[in-house]
Chain A
Amino acid sequence: AQRVTQPEKLLSVFKGAPVELKCNYSYSGSPELFWYVQYSRQRLQLLLRHISRESIKGFTADLNKGETSFHLKKPFAQEEDSAMYYCAFAGGGSSNTGKLIFGQGTTLQVKP
């Protein structure tokens, strides 16, 4: 079954510390992976997608097909990074209908 796993419900770090939010997926094909973020009292918004290979707000994520992972990383956390982060997956190739499968989310708390 297609599934996304985010093992940590809460990740708490101090400002300036490195951050890694973990995401693993189960899918036998070539997936499209995304990270969505939801700041307090704001709507869910796309942070980055693996096919664009961009760095957004200092965050990067690399798709590792061998480990079926798409971890989100930032070298130096900022207080404004505090938010809920969701990893999401869409089946790639011809099976990609745009349907997103989300993980349970990880709350990132950056302490001053």
Chain B
Amino acid sequence: DAGVTQSPTHLIKTRGQHVTLRCSPISGHKSVSWYQQVLGQGPQFIFQYYEKEERGRGNFPDRFSARQFPNYSSELNVNALLLGDSALYLCASSFATARNEQFFGPGTRLTVL
């Protein structure tokens, strides 16, 4: 198993554009969480999905949305990009939610110009 995979690796967008980031969890894992990591800071929780339902949402504006598909992969969408959205976006998968170890992907580096 390759572990959690994310695509693309890097992405450059301009202000006002929309972006879609993708994540494939470890086989057998049903929960996916998204985190934003701004340079010099720890990851900040955005969303958690389990069995295709949203189970948690962090303090992010409505421009951020996500979904989970029947195969448990997930997409993170960000609309009307701002310069401040430039960050490393991490996906983590786990078998379930509470008390389950989260395994992180390599991240997608988003640069907004």
Contact = CB atoms under 8 A, between A and B. Distances in A.
A46 B48 contact: no
Interface stretch (B8-16, B20-28, B66-74, B93-101): B93-101
Size range of the chain B interface in the assembly: 20 to 34
29 contacts: A43-B4, A43-B106, A43-B107, A44-B43, A44-B90, A44-B104, A45-B104, A46-B101, A46-B102, A51-B99, A86-B42, A86-B43, A90-B98, A97-B56, A97-B97, A98-B94, A98-B96, A98-B97, A98-B98, A98-B100, A99-B56, A99-B58, A100-B33, A100-B92, A100-B102, A102-B44, A103-B42, A104-B40, A104-B42
Contact of A102 (B31, B42, B101, B107): B42
Contacts of B56: 97-99
Interface of B: 3-4, 31, 33, 35, 40-45, 48, 55-56, 58, 90, 92, 94, 96-107
Closest 9 CB pairs of A and B: A102-B42, A98-B97, A96-B98, A44-B104, A97-B56, A99-B56, A102-B43, A99-B45, A43-B106
Main secondary structure of the interface of A (DSSP, over half): loop
Interface of A: 4, 6, 32, 43-46, 49, 51, 86, 88, 90, 96-105
